[in-house]
Structure 1
Amino acid sequence: MANILIVYASLTGNTEEIADLIAAGIKGSDHKVVMKTSEECRADELLNYDGALIGLYTWGDGDLPDEFLDFYEELDEIDLTGYPIALFGSGDTSYDLFCGAVDTAEAKVKERGAVVKEPSLKIEYSPLDEEKNDCRALGTRFVNSMVSAG
């Protein structure tokens, strides 16, 4: 049984809803999932889990959310070589960099050596009904890819 961490930053609840749906996909595969906001989690806690999903919303023109900055900066202090991660987030397509913060976070975890197991899931605002299935499926695929690899 895999033990997965979901770390997320959510201002309006959209990214939290995505995180909840991803967690449901993981739990549906009979694996354990722990959810924490980026404010209540230190980056080094990632290493206490078999893998992690990181979610955040994009602020303005591709900016990281303020409440995610400490976690983001702490990533520079840990070695994620070979560590399985997937990313997700919410954004607004009216901006040039739709979900740009997700791309920034993905670049950081790759720089630290993490293995991104799934393409980043990017959703405008809150997930629509058909996107809710995509969120649950991401959780299921992520944990299944870890179990089959391990």
Structure 2
Amino acid sequence: MASARIVYASMTGNNEEIAGIIEEAFEDLNVDVTTTEVSQAMASDFLDVDICVAVMYTYSNVGEGELPDEALDFYEELQELDLTGKVYGSAGSGDRFYDDFATSVDDFDKAFAKTGATKGADNVKIDLAADGEDIEHLEAFTKALVDKQASL
């Protein structure tokens, strides 16, 4: 059985909900999944699973979009790992009001790419809370990750 870990940061609850949707989709696909809030996780936790997922918000109060403060250490540690042979995906909620809409999703995508892991699905960026169509995209994202992992 494949295994997955979802690490998320959520200020408003939107990303916690997104992580939950992905978690449920993994469970429906018979993947053993663990979901952890980023302040309670270590990047090295990804060494113990087949599929690695980050669900992050972008802090957009002033200036350019920034990573969540609580995710900074995790983000730095992630880039030092060797995740060759693992599949990753990046998703998150943002607010289209800001020019830097959900840029943390892209930042984590680039960090994962540095680890040697294989990108398993296109990034998913959701405007605020996930609705019906967003849920379908998250389910397709999760299935793509599982399919990619099975093909390695």
TM-score higher than 0.5: yes
C-alpha separation in 2, matches of 1:24 and 1:105: 22
What residue number does 1:78 align with?
81
C-alpha separation in 1, matches of 2:67 and 2:147: 29
1:132 paired with 2:107, answer no
C-alpha separation in 2, matches of 1:97 and 1:123: 13
What residue number does 1:23 align with?
23
1:101 paired with 2:115, answer no
Deviation at 1:66, TM superposition (A): 0.7
Q: Equivalences for 1:1-150 in 2 at 5 Å?
A: 1-60=1-60, 61-147=64-150, 149-150=151-152
TM-score, normalised to structure 2, is 0.92
Say which structure, 1 or 2, has more relative contact order (CA 8 Å, 6+ apart): 1
TM-score, normalised to structure 1, is 0.93
C-alpha separation in 2, matches of 1:145 and 1:110: 15
**Structure 1 SS opposite 2:54:** strand
1:1-39 per-position Cα deviation (integer Å, ceiling 9, x unaligned): 101111111111101111111111111111211101111
**Structure 2 SS opposite 1:47:** helix
1:69-116 per-position Cα deviation (integer Å, ceiling 9, x unaligned): 111011133112342100000101111121111111111111222211
C-alpha separation in 1, matches of 2:14 and 2:105: 14
Segments of structure 1 that go 5 or more residues without pairing to the other structure are: none
Deviation at 1:132, TM superposition (A): 1.4
Residue 27 of structure 2 aligns with an amino acid whose one-letter code is: K
C-alpha separation in 1, matches of 2:115 and 2:29: 28
Residue 53 of structure 2 aligns with an amino acid whose one-letter code is: L
Residue 114 of structure 1 aligns with an amino acid whose one-letter code is: A
Segments of structure 2 that go 5 or more residues without pairing to the other structure are: none
**Structure 1 SS opposite 2:34:** strand
C-alpha separation in 1, matches of 2:124 and 2:107: 14
